[in-house]
Structure 1
Amino acid sequence: MIREFVFETKAALLTQLEQDLLAQVKQVLASEGAASLLLSGGSTPGPVYEALGKTLDPLVQIALVDDRWVDVDHKGSNEALLKRCFPEHAIVGMKTPDATPQAAVAEVNQRYATLAQPFAVTVLGMGPDGHTASLFPNAHGLDAALAADASLCAAITAHPSAVTGELVDRMTLTLNGILNSRKLVLLITGQDKWDVYQKAKTADDVKLTPVSAVLQQQAVDLDVYWVA
């Protein structure tokens, strides 16, 4: 089921998102004794992560939804963002010393197997091209990442675009990995992305707008947070 939450201001959205994520993780931690929070990168959710980093129980496991294949000191590293925002937590990252993400798939899946599952909540973003996580349109590796028998994580090499920039090699949660969650959150800002989202809900070819695979599934509830 999709629930849509529309906000008047970005500040109101971020405040509500912080409260909802904290409540969800607390509930799972209290009932299960362990909880994992899967987070996407980007500047928009940064303030939410900073706030959660000050209030979230250090026992909660923090892991990435996806990451560019760059070292943690690179400005494009999502792992670096989470380490700044959650200094008291051990971050389960995706980057390894391997030259390519394809060579690291087995190791990264071993890391993610140690997380409390199903994940308490997974926070996704969406690009104007209809990608989510690093599931980019028609990317090399997309078929495998969308497959019904996929592992939690997969390697992706996207086609260069204004959205990807030059950093096209990625590690990402697969569709199975995304759906291995008690709740999904999709954060959208701007009218242009809202229009993409609306079309993706009924799109026929998920390879053209991979976020459609998440929007059209019926296994996990999805909360959509949007502000113009």
Structure 2
Amino acid sequence: MRAARSLMFVALLPLFGGCQLLQSSPQAPSTAGLTRMQGELSMANGKLVFAPCQENRQYLVNDAGATSVLQEAATLAGTQHKVFADLRGRVPSATVSGNQAQLDVQQLYRLQRLGASCDNPDFQRLILRASGNTPDWSVNVTGKGMVIQRAGQPALALPYLEEQVGDGRFNLSSEANNQHVELWIAPQRCVDPTLPSVQSMSAELRVNGQVQRGCAYFGGARSD
């Protein structure tokens, strides 16, 4: 995790125009040899099996990163006996045999029982997704800005400033359009019972003093 303090402005959305500054961030932990993968987790012969999206191969899961993926999947699966998984891992070449291999899971981004899909066209350009409920809210963050959706409110499309605050925590903030917005992210297990899902980070959204809490995970455009 990046512990040093850094500031980074992202590009404004087209409707704002203007220029932005960009400062380099501290180097993130190496992900060399690790692959971000999405697909379905299920049990077969007492073992956890991962079937990636758009790939005709099954992987026997080895929890090399102590992610508790087996326990998390068993809790979420329910009567369906399967969950959607978003994870990062390594496939040792010595384990590959035909259409089976071993997957050493090192990082778990998200497990979800319903509503997730291999066919999300926005995933690769997404930097961060945060959401919560009672009332429902969500934030989609890309390189062009962040879009905030809240129940009963018009959508907010804003530029943002990112600040690293140590121990993997960071804050996205904006003062554009007379809005005071902060999105605080912390690297800790977070459960959303409405989906249900388990996500890798907790989130707290503050809009003009109103506070809402939820969960978050990195999209395909960020390699943390």
After TM superposition, the score normalised by the length of structure 2 is: 0.24
Who wins on radius of gyration, i.e. which is larger?
A: 2
The structure whose RCO (Cα within 8 Å, separation 6+) is larger is 1
After TM superposition, the score normalised by the length of structure 1 is: 0.24
Between Structure 1 and Structure 2, which shows a larger proportion of helix residues? 1
